[in-house]
Structure 1
């Protein structure tokens, strides 16, 4: 679990990032979770956008992806979710 200070730091780091995954009508599935997990290992901090045709609630999508990848949800803002997971091999971000 990350602290409030660490979340603020990660939000500032994620500000300039573009979403690299979109959750659509199919919702959250095993393939999406696997790809998000691989991206988190490579980048540590990513954004996921939720399309309007997604039938799941954004909090539910964040919880499902977070649980499936064991990542922390940094922020849900609008239809964008920011995830953070410390990388095992490609550590780039040093949390305060």
Structure 2
């Protein structure tokens, strides 16, 4: 669980990032969650977008992906959300 100060720092870091994953009409699959897990291991902080054709809101998608990958939801704004999970092998972000 992230504190408000940690969350604020992560939001600031994510501000410059571009979304690297999109959730569309196919929704969230196991393969998709595995790919996000790998990206979280490499980057620790990722931004995703939920397309209008998806059957989920950004909040629902963020919570589902976070639960499947063991990540924390940093923020949800509009159709985008940011996830954070501390890397086991190469820690990049110091909280």
Q: TM-score range by the shorter chain?
A: over 0.9
Give CA-to-partner distance per residue, 1:29-85, whole Å, 9 cap, x none: 101100000000000000000111001122211111000000000000111100000
Q: Who is 2:91 aligned against?
A: 91
Structure 1 alignment gaps of length 5 or more: none
Q: Measure the CA separation in 1 of the matches of 2:81 and 2:38.
A: 17
- Tell me if structure 1 keeps the 8 A contact 2:47–2:81: yes
Question: Given the two structures, how large is their TM-score scaled by the length of structure 2?
Answer: 0.98
Q: Measure the CA separation in 2 of the matches of 1:35 and 1:23.
A: 12
Runs of 4+ that moved beyond 4 A: none
Q: Measure the CA separation in 2 of the matches of 1:24 and 1:17.
A: 20
Is the partner of 2:37 in helix, strand or coil? Answer: helix
- Cα RMSD between the aligned structures? 0.6
How many residues are paired up?
95
Q: Who is 2:8 aligned against?
A: 8
Superposed, 1:1-96 pairs within 5 Å as 1-95=1-95
